[in-house]
Structure 1
Amino acid sequence: MMMFKRITALLRGRVGDAETAFSDAQALPLLRQQLRDATVGLEAAQRAVAVVVAYHKREQNRTDDIAERLTDLETRTRAALAQEKDALAHEGATAIAELEQEREASRAVLAGYETEIRRLREDVTLAQRRLRALQRGKTLAEATAATQKLRGTMPAGVTASLREAEETLARLQARQTHAADAAAAYADLSAEGSAETASDRLASAGCGPRKQSDAESVLARLRGATSSLPA
């Protein structure tokens, strides 16, 4: 039973890994399509705002027309009252009352439109900001994907060969440096350890007689020999 559970869990894990790998591989195409869908939806929302604005404008024109009719009726009803034409004045007052009710209803409709327009515009503005941010992110993701793709064109063997060549060159340079240092040290030791070389350097420094004859030393020797002869 325990083994069966483990096998089942393993299969689910492999399925999950496969789904994750597929989703990762298709993430960029999926993002592009989602942004296209969001753009279409945003355009539809903008058209909806335009429609509501048109309704609001039409209702506003209707309210303005009612206001003009009310002004005209009130003027005429006052004139009827001034002329004591009560029947006409009552008829005018009835029409005024009906128009006032219609005006209030129209104002309520306008308020509803204004609320809806404000809400829709806020939603559209927020959606536009989010869409722009997503589009910038998509551009960055596409550039990163292109860079990674180009990086992936470098064969793995090239990197390994370059690393091995660098190590070989470093070893070669180290050996050459060591050989040069050894040769220089050997030359110094040979020069310093030679008795002949030490004697020559002492003679050159004036310590003892010169080891090699020169014209001056020959002349000095000959003068000494001549002066010692009997006159």
Structure 2
Amino acid sequence: MLKQLFSLARGQTVDRTQSFLDANALTLLRQQMREAAESVSRARKAVAVAMAYEARERKALEALEAQLADLETRARAALEQGREDLAAEAASAIAGLEAERASLRKVVQTYAQDIAALRQALRQSEAQLAELKRGQRLAEATGKTQSMRAGAQVSARSPLADAASTLTRLQERQKLADTTLQAMSDLSSETSAEALSDRLAAAGMGAAKTTSAEDVLTRLKKDINSN
């Protein structure tokens, strides 16, 4: 049981954490995007620094090669003039410079390889960052429109519902009032003295209140006979 309670507590903590992250997803995304942009900026700076180092070493290599070329020319001149002592001294210096040149060439080559790799990684990071920025803009725009739609629905729902309810009650009351008036009118017609007199006349009790076609025909015949 204790183990289950611990598992439940951990599960609730995870659920609350996830709910918090979901509720603040856009804020979290903006911070992560800032961190990603800073990371890309650092990578760009690293490429620039590597290029500066590579340029410095390449410049040193060029200066060294120029110095070697100069020493070799002078060593040959010393040999031509029979100054083997100076030529030997120059040869020793040349050997040391050639070893340094080999080391510098490896350094320059390493920088060139590293710079190529860093540039490739930077291009990929910049492309990914650009894609993320497009996604961020879309997510923020979607979030804003969803918030506006939700706000419009929430703000309009209550007044609309209230108005619809009021209109329904009004229509029901009006319908009830019309029905009541009609019923009262029917009752009034049925109970009035005039209505009672009309019903009695129609039943043949007393003089008729309306002239029938038969009455008109009898009257016409009398007029003819009297003439």
TM-score, normalised via structure 2 length: 0.65
Query: Which deviations, in whole Å up to 9, do the C-alpha atoms of 1:174-202 show, x marking residues without a partner?
Result: xxxxxxxxxxxxxxxxxxxxxxxxxxxxx
CA distance in structure 2 between the aligned counterparts of 1:135 and 1:151, rounded to whole angstroms: 24
**Residue 118 of structure 2 aligns to a residue in which SS?**
helix
Map 1:81-96 to 2 at 5 A. 81-96=79-94
Counterpart AA for 1:82: E
- Matched residue, 1:17: 15
CA distance in structure 2 between the aligned counterparts of 1:124 and 1:159, rounded to whole angstroms: 55
Identity %: 42
Aligned alpha-carbon RMSD (Å): 2.3
Counterpart AA for 2:62: D
- Matched residue, 2:138: 140
- Matched residue, 1:116: 114
- Given the superposition, is the C-alpha separation of residues 9 and 94 from structure 1 closer, same or farther in structure 2, using an over 3 Å criterion? closer
**Residue 67 of structure 1 aligns to a residue in which SS?**
helix
Query: Which deviations, in whole Å up to 9, do the C-alpha atoms of 1:73-120 show, x marking residues without a partner?
Result: 111111111112111111111111111111101101101111111111
Counterpart AA for 1:76: R
**Residue 77 of structure 1 aligns to a residue in which SS?**
helix
CA distance in structure 2 between the aligned counterparts of 1:77 and 1:5, rounded to whole angstroms: 87
Deviation of 1:13 after TM superposition, in Å, equals 3.6
Aligned residue pair count: 163
**Residue 142 of structure 1 aligns to a residue in which SS?**
helix
CA distance in structure 1 between the aligned counterparts of 2:80 and 2:131, rounded to whole angstroms: 69
Q: Does residue 105 in structure 1 map to residue 112 in structure 2?
A: no
Deviation of 1:141 after TM superposition, in Å, equals 0.5
CA distance in structure 2 between the aligned counterparts of 1:9 and 1:93, rounded to whole angstroms: 79
- Given the superposition, is the C-alpha separation of residues 90 and 9 from structure 1 closer, same or farther in structure 2, using an over 3 Å criterion? closer
- Of 133, 146, 149, which residue of structure 1 is paired with 2:147? 149
- Matched residue, 2:35: 37
CA distance in structure 2 between the aligned counterparts of 1:36 and 1:149, rounded to whole angstroms: 24
CA distance in structure 2 between the aligned counterparts of 1:58 and 1:67, rounded to whole angstroms: 14
- Given the superposition, is the C-alpha separation of residues 70 and 139 from structure 1 closer, same or farther in structure 2, using an over 3 Å criterion? same
- Given the superposition, is the C-alpha separation of residues 6 and 50 from structure 1 closer, same or farther in structure 2, using an over 3 Å criterion? closer
- Matched residue, 1:59: 57
Deviation of 1:16 after TM superposition, in Å, equals 2.7
- Matched residue, 1:77: 75
CA distance in structure 2 between the aligned counterparts of 1:59 and 1:8, rounded to whole angstroms: 61
- Matched residue, 2:180: none
CA distance in structure 1 between the aligned counterparts of 2:23 and 2:49, rounded to whole angstroms: 41
| Unpaired stretches in structure 1, ≥5 consecutive residues | 169-231
CA distance in structure 1 between the aligned counterparts of 2:43 and 2:148, rounded to whole angstroms: 40
TM-score, normalised via structure 1 length: 0.64
- Matched residue, 1:225: none
| Unpaired stretches in structure 2, ≥5 consecutive residues | 169-227
Query: Which deviations, in whole Å up to 9, do the C-alpha atoms of 1:56-86 show, x marking residues without a partner?
Result: 1111111111111111111111111111211
Counterpart AA for 1:115: Q
